[in-house]
Amino acid sequence: MTLAHFDPALARDITPEDSDYNTVCRVIELLTEDYQAQPSLERLAGELGQSPTQLQKTFTRWAGLSPKAFLQAVTLDHAKRLLGREGMPLLDTSLEVGLSGPSRLHDLFVTHEAMSPGEWKAKGAGLEIRYGFHPSPFGIALVMVTPRGLSGLAFSDEGGERAAFEDMARRWPNARYVEDSAATAPYAARIFDAQRWRQEEPLRVVLIGTDFQIRVWEQLLKIPMGRAVTYSSIAGHIGQPTASRAVGAAVGANPISFVVPCHRALGKSGALTGYHWGLTRKRAMLGWEAGKA
């Protein structure tokens, strides 16, 4: 599978320049490695073999933020500020601020349903999942759909498409998989086009997991863009305050990345902790959202 299989029109809609994410990814890596030194635009440009003006334009076009503002958006101090104020419960604070503020207007409006426990235990038996690979602001997106809605969203770098598919297919090993980019392209276009994040046009999502996982994923769906919560806060809100570690595992198993925003779950200190599709991609998502919230 290569980029040659992708719809050129979709590529134009999502990423104005094919190399943007690769450039941004490298900048994020450089900023992460040396964020305390606050590397200058000139230094970053030199590392990438570009002019400062060219790099600034590319990065700002992608993120809506300058590299300096992006760095501020993904620092530990900023993460701590996102997590809450005045000792209020963290998820309550996030929802109170986000639901009444402008950031909610930019969030994905998602309507979701969960498959029954019996369907989950069958590991996808009798289920047909159509899938396709599409360009996205965060690299190559693997989109997976059922007749009931979006069931999977994963990411890879070029050349890693097969590994991403196999990773996702292991979750529902008894399902029938059909490569059908025509069926998944409309989902990809909506997911990554902020102009289409509208309440009157909700994105249909189907959650395929255990009861515990689904409760965790439903809490993730309540986190507004530009906000963050801790694993322990999510555990408290599903009535299992001592289950932070199990919540972390459920967050990591989330099959619908970005739409079910597991990237907005942080460690208690505000640390980003892990991310199934790579910490650089998690930072990219948080920074990209900061430019839109």
Give kind and range of the element (H or E) at residue 176: strand 176-179
DSSP category for residue 256: B
β-strand 265-266 against 229-230: which pairing, if any? Answer: parallel
Selected catalytic residue, list 14, 27, 262, 286:
262
Read off the tokens for 91.
């998820």
Give the whole-angstrom CA distance, residue 251 versus residue 234: 10
DSSP 184-253: HHHHHHHHT-GGG--TTSPEEEEE-S-HHHHHHHHHHTTSPTT--EEHHHHHHHTT-TT-HHHHHHHHHT
Contact 46, 40 (CB under 8 A): no
Give the whole-angstrom CA distance, residue 61 versus residue 137: 11
Contact 260, 204 (CB under 8 A): no
Task: Establish whether 262 is a catalytic residue.
Answer: yes
Give the whole-angstrom CA distance, residue 259 versus residue 216: 14
> Which residues are catalytically annotated?
262
